């Protein structure tokens, strides 16, 4: 594996997506600002905007860096460069995730920082917030994996829809797990075994998804 | 032993509605091969296999001594590839593309790139989306040439170009030919373009190589004989005649193995040879394809 080539491909996508990254960070910071206004309505509106910003940037990256590469016929230019299929796959996975991590980490840490300031958000929501933040990351991995393996706009849009729906279902399900629901409205953080297991399952699914992507990509026989 | 830049041995690839069948193709180092076929004949599939972008189902492919597709990264370090369906990043400038490509190719020649920019009248700071189709092809060609490849693979690069842009692109390719170590595979359905720059010609049709030889041999061996026959006599049976056209006493024989001795045979059989016409590469290609299709149909 030539990591120098992988790095150059990642920087290429970073450059091409710089506007999307900046826009999503700005949008997310705006959403955090709304949360800071205080009050339940502002909290809910800000939260919805924040999640929307993260899902939107994840979906945009999956479409722009992978599906469009085929659709806009830039894939043959990239594959004419001295890279192997494995290097291309690694650059797409690492690159797209790294790009996503910029707005993601800014916004996730921004959200977590809100717990440290007196604004009325119960500290008991911290485990739930963390689980949902990782769920958004899992959702993004799903979109990236489907986009990379299928290179199809239709399948990627389907993955975006499934991911979106699953965030709501997972949110509802996790909020009703007794080990998490008990402490959600409390003033202190109650990190239960249920919360830890849920996080582990999410990270396990992320690892499985990324591993499967490599497996399916290695079995591909036609890259154009 | 001949030094081969490209060596296909028994290469096959199966799709639902198209098969590339038992392709054997040798491209000696320093030669320029025109790869001619109709749309859908298998040119692009063959080239994608050559580039390691499509895996063959059977057979072996060696490019610059590297087994494909396994060693494609090493092989592509010395290949410049431009295809008709290749696009650059619309939102980025040519200057950005040059920086990006040059960072990957140690042999990148910036002075040559600058020369090509002037020759092609390109503006490095202009975004790709602002370029015409001809300028985009020239930009792609610049990015392929300035990396100083040992093998240049061009898949229908002149398709869709206006006559002026086509002449410029072909002109630059002719200039590149001065480098004797460089090998070029030039695929096209435009036989005029191929005839201008190639020294080797390969015809492909319906997934099979139907003929491959040097250009002079093609042009020397293919002829049309226009005969006038005496009353009630038959068209002479000559070896190497692949098509008999014309009508009645005025047959036109197409041969791919012309020999001046054929004229004597015709005259001995009472026929008058009215004319011996040379054939253009396009006429040779069309006759070759028709002959092959008729043979397969029988």
Counting every residue, how long is chain A?
Answer: 224
The pLDDT assigned to B124 comes to: 93
φ, ψ of residue B124 to 5 degrees: the values are: -60, -30
**Given pLDDT bands bounded at 50, 70 and 90, which one contains residue B130?**
very high
Mean pLDDT of B265-271: 84
What order do you get walking across the sheet with B183-188 strand by strand?
Answer: B79-83, B151-155, B183-188, B32-37, B200-205, B208-214
φ, ψ of residue A36 to 5 degrees: the values are: -65, -20
Interchain pair A76, B103: CB under 8 A: no
Asked whether residue A18 is assigned to any structural domain, the reply reads yes
Asked whether residue B146 is assigned to any structural domain, the reply reads yes
The pLDDT assigned to B298 comes to: 63
**Given pLDDT bands bounded at 50, 70 and 90, which one contains residue A119?**
low
Domain boundary among B158, B181, B212: B212
Asked whether residue B262 is assigned to any structural domain, the reply reads yes
Helix or strand or coil: residue A210? helix
Residues from chain B that touch A8, judged by Cβ atoms under 8 A, are: 100, 103-104
**Given pLDDT bands bounded at 50, 70 and 90, which one contains residue B149?**
very high
Residues from chain B that touch A224, judged by Cβ atoms under 8 A, are: 48, 53-54
Asked whether residue A23 is assigned to any structural domain, the reply reads yes
* Residue B8 sits in the same domain as residue B60: yes
Nearest to A79 among B53, B96, B103 (CB): B53
**Given pLDDT bands bounded at 50, 70 and 90, which one contains residue A202?**
very high
Nearest to A83 among B48, B73, B80 (CB): B73
Asked whether residue B97 is assigned to any structural domain, the reply reads yes
Q: How far is CA B279 from CA A61, A223, B219, B257, in A?
A: 55, 40, 7, 13
Higher pLDDT, B61 or A111: B61
CA distance, residue A215 to nearest chain B CA (Å): 16
The mean-pLDDT minimum among A190-194, A206-210, B28-32, B293-297 falls in: B293-297
Interchain pair A15, B144: CB under 8 A: no
Domain total in chain B: 2
Helix or strand or coil: residue B297? helix
Asked whether residue A224 is assigned to any structural domain, the reply reads no
* ipTM computed for the complex: 0.84
Mean pLDDT of B235-253: 84
Q: Kindly report, residue by residue over B21-75, the tens digit of the pLDDT.
A: 899 999 999 889 999 998 888 999 999 999 999 999 999 999 999 999 999 999 9
| Averaged pLDDT of chain A | 88
Interchain pair B86, A221: CB under 8 A: no
Compare all CA atoms of chain A with the CA of B83 and give the residue at the minimum distance. A76
* Residue B98 sits in the same domain as residue B171: yes
CA distance A25 to A31: 10
Domain boundary among B212, B244, B265: B212
Asked whether residue B231 is assigned to any structural domain, the reply reads yes
* Residue B97 sits in the same domain as residue B204: yes
Higher pLDDT, B175 or A88: A88
Does A72 contact B at CB distance below 8 Å? yes
Contact of B128 with B97, CB cutoff 8 Å: yes
* Residue B125 sits in the same domain as residue B264: no
Asked whether residue B285 is assigned to any structural domain, the reply reads no
Interchain pair A76, B53: CB under 8 A: yes
Listed residue (B279, B271, B268) closest to B250, CA to CA:
B271
Interchain pair B76, A82: CB under 8 A: yes
The pLDDT assigned to B177 comes to: 66
* Residue B193 sits in the same domain as residue B264: no
* Residue B186 sits in the same domain as residue B105: yes
Helix or strand or coil: residue A49? helix
pLDDT reading at A214 higher than 80:
yes
Does B273 contact A at CB distance below 8 Å? no
Mean pLDDT of B75-92: 93
* Residue B142 sits in the same domain as residue B40: yes
Domain boundary among B212, B233, B263: B212
pLDDT reading at B2 higher than 80:
no
Does A219 contact B at CB distance below 8 Å? no
Asked whether residue B296 is assigned to any structural domain, the reply reads no
Q: Kindly report, residue by residue over A4-43, the tens digit of the pLDDT.
A: 999 999 999 999 998 888 888 888 888 888 877 777 787 7
* Residue B99 sits in the same domain as residue B176: yes
Does A15 contact B at CB distance below 8 Å? yes
* Residue B69 sits in the same domain as residue B101: yes
The percentage of residues in chain A with a pLDDT greater than 70, rounded to a whole number, is 98
Nearest to A81 among B48, B55, B104 (CB): B104
Q: Kindly report, residue by residue over B157-198, the tens digit of the pLDDT.
A: 888 788 888 887 888 777 766 665 789 999 988 888 888 888
Place of tokens 């705006």: A30
Nearest to A72 among B51, B53, B87 (CB): B87
Residues from chain B that touch A17, judged by Cβ atoms under 8 A, are: none
Interchain pair A77, B51: CB under 8 A: no
Listed residue (B193, B256, B250) closest to B227, CA to CA:
B250
The pLDDT assigned to A26 comes to: 86
* Residue B267 sits in the same domain as residue B133: no
Asked whether residue A81 is assigned to any structural domain, the reply reads yes
Interchain pair A223, B54: CB under 8 A: yes
Range of the domain at B240: 223-278
Asked whether residue A75 is assigned to any structural domain, the reply reads yes
* Residue B22 sits in the same domain as residue B71: yes
Place of tokens 């293919």: B222
* Residue B56 sits in the same domain as residue B180: yes
Asked whether residue B286 is assigned to any structural domain, the reply reads no
Range of the domain at A172: 3-219
Higher pLDDT, B264 or B96: B96
Counting every residue, how long is chain B?
Answer: 298
Listed residue (A30, A29, A23, A43) closest to A129, CA to CA:
A43
Domain total in chain A: 1
Asked whether residue B151 is assigned to any structural domain, the reply reads yes
Nearest to B73 among A16, A87, A224 (CB): A87
Domain holding B157: CATH number? Answer: 3.40.50.300
The pLDDT assigned to A46 comes to: 81
CA distance, residue B72 to nearest chain A CA (Å): 6
Mean pLDDT of A102-130: 80
pLDDT reading at A200 higher than 70:
yes
Q: What is the model's pTM?
A: 0.85
Between β-strands B183-188 and B32-37, what pairing exists: parallel, antiparallel or unpaired?
Answer: parallel
């Amino acid at each position: 594996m030539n990591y120098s080539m992988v790095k150059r491909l990642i920087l290429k996508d970073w450059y091409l997506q710089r506007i999307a990254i900046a826009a999503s960070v700005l949008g997310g910071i705006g959403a955090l600002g709304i949360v800071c206004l205080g009050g339940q309505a502002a909290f809910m509106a800000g939260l919805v905007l924040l999640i929307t910003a993260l899902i939107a940037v994840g979906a945009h990256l999956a479409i722009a860096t992978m599906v469009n590469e085929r659709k806009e016929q830039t894939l043959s230019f990239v594959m004419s460069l001295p890279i192997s299929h494995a290097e291309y796959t690694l650059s797409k996975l690492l690159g797209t995730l790294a790009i996503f991590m910029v707005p993601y980490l800014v916004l996730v840490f921004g959200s977590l920082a809100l717990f440290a300031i007196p604004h009325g958000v119960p500290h008991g929501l911290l485990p739930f917030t963390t689980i949902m933040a990782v769920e958004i990351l899992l959702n993004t991995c799903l979109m990236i994996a489907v986009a990379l393996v299928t290179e199809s706009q239709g399948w990627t849009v389907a993955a975006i829809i499934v991911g979106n729906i699953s965030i709501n279902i997972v949110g509802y399900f996790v909020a009703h797990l007794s080990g998490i629901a008990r402490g959600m409205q409390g003033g202190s953080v109650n990190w239960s075994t249920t919360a830890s297991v849920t996080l582990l399952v999410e990270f396990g699914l992320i690892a499985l998804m990324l591993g499967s992507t490599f497996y399916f990509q290695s079995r591909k026989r036609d890259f154009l | 032993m001949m030094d081969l830049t490209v060596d296909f041995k028994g290469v096959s690839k199966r799709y639902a509605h198209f098969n590339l069948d038992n392709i054997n193709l040798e491209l000696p180092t320093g030669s320029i091969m025109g790869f001619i076929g109709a749309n859908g004949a298998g040119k692009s599939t063959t080239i994608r296999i050559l580039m390691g972008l499509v895996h063959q189902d059977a057979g072996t492919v060696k490019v610059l001594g590297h087994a494909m597709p396994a060693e494609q990264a090493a092989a592509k370090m010395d290949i410049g590839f431009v295809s008709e369906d290749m696009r650059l990043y619309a939102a980025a400038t040519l200057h950005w593309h040059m920086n990006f490509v040059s960072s990957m190719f140690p042999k990148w020649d910036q002075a040559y790139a600058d020369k090509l920019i002037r020759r092609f009248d390109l503006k490095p700071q202009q975004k790709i989306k602002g370029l015409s189709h001809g300028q985009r092809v020239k930009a792609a060609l610049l990015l392929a040439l300035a990396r100083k490849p040992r093998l240049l693979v061009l898949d229908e690069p002149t398709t869709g170009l206006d006559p002026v842009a086509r002449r410029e692109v072909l002109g630059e390719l002719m200039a590149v030919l001065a480098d004797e170590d460089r090998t070029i595979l030039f695929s096209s359905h435009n036989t005029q373009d191929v005839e201008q720059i190639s020294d080797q010609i390969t015809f492909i049709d319906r997934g099979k190589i139907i003929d491959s030889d040097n250009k002079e041999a093609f042009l020397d061996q293919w002829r049309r004989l226009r005969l006038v026959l005496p009353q009630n006599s038959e068209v002479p049976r000559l070896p190497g005649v692949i098509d008999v056209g014309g009508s009645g006493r005025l047959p036109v024989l197409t041969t791919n193995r012309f020999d001046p001795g054929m004229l004597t045979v015709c005259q001995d059989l009472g026929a008058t040879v009215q004319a011996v016409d040379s054939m253009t590469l396009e006429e040779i290609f069309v006759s070759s394809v028709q002959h092959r299709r008729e043979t397969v149909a029988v």
